[in-house]
Amino acid sequence: MTEPVTYRCSRPSLEPPKPKGGPGDLRAVRAGSDVFIEVRVLGPDRDFLRSNHVIDKATVYLVSLEHRHDVHWNGDLPGEISDEWKRDMAEAAARVAATGQPVQVITGDSALTVLPGPARVGTRISGPLSASDQHRRLLNALGQKAVKTESAGAAWLWLEDAGALWPFTPFAQDRLATELQTLRQSLDPLFDAHPHVLGVVLTSGELRYPSSDDASERHHQGIALRRVLPGNLTRESLIVHRRLGVPGQYAMVTQLCADEPEWLDQALHRLGVPGGAATLTTWPVHHGAPTADQRQSAHGLYLPGPR
């Protein structure tokens, strides 16, 4: 006989009122634990967006010259894409196409070489480089949310990273244990300045292809989690609480992150759908016609995913 599935559920409410007016973001209650969460999304800063815009603009132009003159590129991009730079690139590409000899174009501190023919592994260009203090940005964002939640009495700060740290910074390349240690040490001044802040969740809002399986790293002041989600994407979540924490609230917040891969199945279970999402989806057949068994089993909705 199959045992019934039991999920530990909390009662959530959106935009709960604060004692001194104004809404919060989320409140979740389970047994004796009452968690008030303030959410903030932190994306790339202006310098990073500007650098990406320059790279995108330059790449589109260089690719058009590749197709026109049968050339490829190797080197660095300048900090600005001007009409003069475009003219120099077009003239260099035409010269290489006519002579078959490489030409180097120097613009300020950057140098870009035009080479004849298509590249074996594609054009290789880099820059312009962008450097900024994401550590300070993160702490400033948390500090602003801490001030907003003072009237809540006790609060958790939840920061969804949408490109400030993940996936491009050295921090995001560290091991889970190192990420947790870095964040824990950074948050001591925040906890000292705002006694009502019980803990902080920092999670990678940008989902990525997994580099490994689920993983967890624990510390007496927190936990770091990596979870592979439906669709074969992954999220990292770092949870840090103050030294004198509230165990029930910490357990609820940790479970919220740790159980994310099962969220959909839990919701379907409560709606009376046996078997969860696996019974509602099917996979495509990439080679040849499906077999009779495949046709019989493929009764669900096909949701395309990464190949």
Q: Does the structure show a pLDDT above 70 at 109?
A: yes
52 and 85 inside one domain: yes
Q: Does the structure show a pLDDT above 70 at 285?
A: no
> Is residue 142 one of the residues assigned to a domain?
yes
Residue 128: predicted pLDDT? 66
> Is residue 136 one of the residues assigned to a domain?
yes
Question: What pLDDT band is residue 97 in, cutting at 50, 70 and 90?
Answer: very high
Written in H, E and C, the secondary structure of the chain is CCCCCCCCCCEEEECCECCCCCECCEEEEECCEEEEEEEEEECCCHHHHHHHHHHHHHHHHHHHHHHHHCEEEEEECCCCCCHHHHHHHHHHHHHHHHHCCCEEEEECCEEEEEEECCCCCCCEEECCCCCCCHHHHHHHHHHHHHHHCHHHCCEEEEEEECCCCCCCCHHHHCCHHHHHHHHHHHHHHHHHHCCCEEEEEEEECCCECCCCCCEEEEECCEEEEEEEECCCEEEEEEEEECCCCCHHHHHHHHHHHHCHHHHHHHHHHHCCCCCHHHHCEECCCCCCCCCHHHHHHCCCEECCCCC
Residue 7: predicted pLDDT? 45
55 and 37 inside one domain: no
164 and 264 inside one domain: yes
Strand order in the sheet with 222-229: 11-14, 26-30, 33-42, 155-161, 197-204, 233-241, 222-229, 215-219
Mean pLDDT of the chain: 82
Greater pLDDT, 256 or 124: 256
> Is residue 307 one of the residues assigned to a domain?
no
> Is residue 33 one of the residues assigned to a domain?
yes
Chain centroid, CA 191 distance in Å: 25
Out of 85, 110, 126, pick the residue that ends a domain: 126
37 and 137 inside one domain: yes
Out of 75, 110, 126, pick the residue that ends a domain: 126
> Is residue 84 one of the residues assigned to a domain?
yes
Residue 152: predicted pLDDT? 85
Q: Give the domain range for residue 150.
A: 11-45+132-268
18 and 167 inside one domain: yes
Q: Does the structure show a pLDDT above 80 at 300?
A: no
Q: Does the structure show a pLDDT above 50 at 307?
A: no
78 and 199 inside one domain: no
Question: What pLDDT band is residue 6 in, cutting at 50, 70 and 90?
Answer: very low
Out of 106, 126, 146, pick the residue that ends a domain: 126
Q: How many distinct structural domains can be found in the chain?
A: 3
> Is residue 1 one of the residues assigned to a domain?
no
Q: Does the structure show a pLDDT above 60 at 295?
A: no
Q: Does the structure show a pLDDT above 90 at 114?
A: yes
140 and 228 inside one domain: yes
> Is residue 261 one of the residues assigned to a domain?
yes
Return the C-alpha torsion angle 298, 303, 305, 307, nearest 10.
Answer: 40
Q: Does the structure show a pLDDT above 50 at 5?
A: no
**pLDDT 10s digits, 156-213:** 999 999 888 888 788 888 999 999 999 999 999 999 999 999 999 999 976 666 667 8
State whether the Cα torsion 158-163-167-171 is positive or negative. Answer: negative
**pLDDT 10s digits, 270-280:** 888 877 777 77
143 and 122 inside one domain: no
264 and 147 inside one domain: yes
**pLDDT 10s digits, 229-270:** 877 788 999 999 998 778 889 999 999 999 998 888 888 888
137 and 201 inside one domain: yes
Q: Does the structure show a pLDDT above 90 at 286?
A: no
Residue 191: predicted pLDDT? 95
Least Cα distance to 216 among 243, 162, 254 occurs for: 254
Taking the whole predicted model, whether its pTM rises above 0.75 is answered as: no
94 and 111 inside one domain: yes
223 and 253 inside one domain: yes
Share of residues in the chain with pLDDT > 90 (%): 42
> Is residue 3 one of the residues assigned to a domain?
no
